[in-house]
Amino acid sequence: MFGRLGWVEIAVIALVVLVLFGRGKIGAVLEEMGKGVRAFKDGMNEAEAPKKPAKPRKKSKK
């Protein structure tokens, strides 16, 4: 049902979204989405980076 959207249908949907939300609101939403994607990528890179094993602490003599 939704797999057969042509360029005309997509243009009409985009126009309706633009009229409803306005250019400023759409820009703010896209900016926040970009920040979220960037944070997700940074988190994935941190998870993939190998962690260095912690060095054992030396016991102090009392």
Segment 17-57, tens digit of pLDDT? 888 888 888 889 889 999 999 999 988 888 776 666 667 77
Amino acid at 21: F
Q: Which long-range contacts (CB under 8 A, 24 or more apart) does 30-33 make?
A: none
Q: Above 70 in pLDDT, residue 61?
A: no
The answer to whether 26 touches 17, Cβ cutoff 8 Å, is yes
pLDDT at 12 over 70: yes
Please state the pTM of the whole predicted model.
Answer: 0.48
- Report which secondary-structure segment, H or E, holds 7: helix 7-48
Q: What is the pLDDT of residue 45?
A: 83
Average pLDDT estimate for 6-10: 92
Q: What is the pLDDT of residue 36?
A: 95
Are 18 and 26 in contact by the 8 Å Cβ rule? The answer is yes
Q: Which residue has the tokens 């926040």?
A: 32
